[in-house]
């Protein structure tokens, strides 16, 4: 049994009762039992950001940037890396051991382990949206939009609705582990090193498996679930049609997320190629630099007067 199923993570009854009057009008009926984990995840994210500000200059010394803007970017990467190390193993565990309630009812089924994972994601993405909104001039609108969209997506699983999507899409964080390692190798002046090359191999493999292949499969599964045939008379199909606009929100977000995965994969491959596959132009420039340039029309016995060596 994973720690995500531990009774130690249960909310105090008073806490759940305190959250319920806020969650119920919003339709988030599965939020009260796990709201404390969302709060803890958000606080932990801010704490890790502060911890990075304190420890990174000491641990990485000359590699930690001096400008405030780059320091913020460094600290955001560290928090995102820590989150990936937490979310990915839980998602993998729940994919291998899904709760029976969620399997029995893929639309509205709810179980504490999946609710807890969604709550942890909600807390992290609250931090992500707030921080990227504060630094939108340097981080860009795209990063803020990503955080805000993910926040909405995981929050609405706590209606509950398609709660099984939490583990399926948080498994994407496996590739984030290697992506942030790749970023750190660059910052530590290890660009093009053997270590970065090995990490790059794991990055590409994990990205293809968890995002492109498994992500596309889950997208297909979600579309089949939320867009039933008009002639389908089943209870599940009838229930889907009564859900309302939230199902279309999930479908639009799903298409956008999978589209970004393919777009980012191209950029990632180009970035790796730039580091490990020398371009023909660079090779020609290198040869031109190494070619001896004659001085006074002679090369023999003039080694000290030859340029470019």
Query: Is the pLDDT higher at 302 or at 102?
Result: 102
pLDDT at residue number 280 = 62
Q: Is the pLDDT of residue 105 over 60?
A: yes
Question: Please, how many CA atoms are within 13 Å of residue 79, restricted to the half-sphere of its CB?
Answer: 28
Q: Is the pLDDT of residue 54 over 70?
A: yes
User: In 3D, which of 64, 67, 45 has the Cα closest to residue 54?
Assistant: 64
Question: Please, how many CA atoms are within 13 Å of residue 297, restricted to the half-sphere of its CB?
Answer: 0
The per-residue pLDDT of the chain, averaged, comes to 88
Classify 301 in phi/psi space as left (phi over 0), alpha (psi -120 to 50) or beta.
Answer: left
Q: Which residues of 247-273 are buried (b: 16+ CB within 10 A; e: fewer)?
A: beebeebbeebbeebeeebeebeeebe
Which pTM value belongs to this model? 0.86
Per-residue pLDDT averaged across 62-82, rounded?
A: 93
């Amino acid at each position: 049994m994973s720690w995500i199923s531990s009774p130690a993570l249960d909310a105090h009854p008073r806490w759940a009762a305190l959250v319920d009057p806020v969650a119920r009008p919003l339709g988030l009926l599965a939020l009260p039992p796990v709201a404390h984990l969302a709060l803890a995840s958000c606080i932990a994210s801010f704490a890790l950001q502060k911890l990075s500000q304190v420890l990174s200059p000491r641990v990485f010394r000359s590699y930690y940037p001096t400008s405030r803007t780059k320091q913020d970017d460094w600290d955001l990467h560290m928090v995102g890396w820590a989150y990936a190390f937490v979310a990915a193993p839980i998602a993998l565990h729940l994919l291998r051991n899904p709760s029976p309630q969620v399997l029995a009812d893929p639309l509205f089924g709810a179980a504490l382990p999946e609710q807890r994972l969604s709550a942890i994601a909600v807390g992290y993405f609250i931090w992500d949206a707030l921080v990227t909104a504060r630094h939108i001039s340097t981080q860009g609108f795209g990063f803020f939009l990503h955080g805000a969209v993910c926040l909405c997506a995981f929050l609405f699983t706590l209606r509950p609705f398609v709660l099984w999507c939490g583990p399926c899409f948080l498994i994407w964080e496996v590739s984030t582990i290697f992506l942030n390692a790749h970023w750190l190798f660059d910052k530590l002046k290890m660009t093009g090193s053997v270590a970065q090359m090995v990490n790059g191999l794991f990055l590409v493999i994990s990205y293809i498996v968890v995002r492109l292949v498994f992500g596309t499969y889950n997208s297909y599964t979600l579309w089949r679930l939320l867009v039933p045939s008009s002639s389908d008379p089943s209870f599940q199909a009838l229930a889907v049609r009564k859900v309302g606009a939230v199902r279309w929100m999930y479908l639009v977000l799903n298409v956008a997320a999978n589209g970004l995965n393919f777009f980012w994969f191209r950029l990632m491959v180009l970035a790796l190629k730039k580091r490990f596959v020398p371009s023909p132009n660079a090779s020609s420039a290198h040869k031109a630099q190494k070619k001896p340039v004659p001085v006074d029309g002679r090369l023999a016995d003039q080694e000290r007067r030859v340029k470019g060596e």
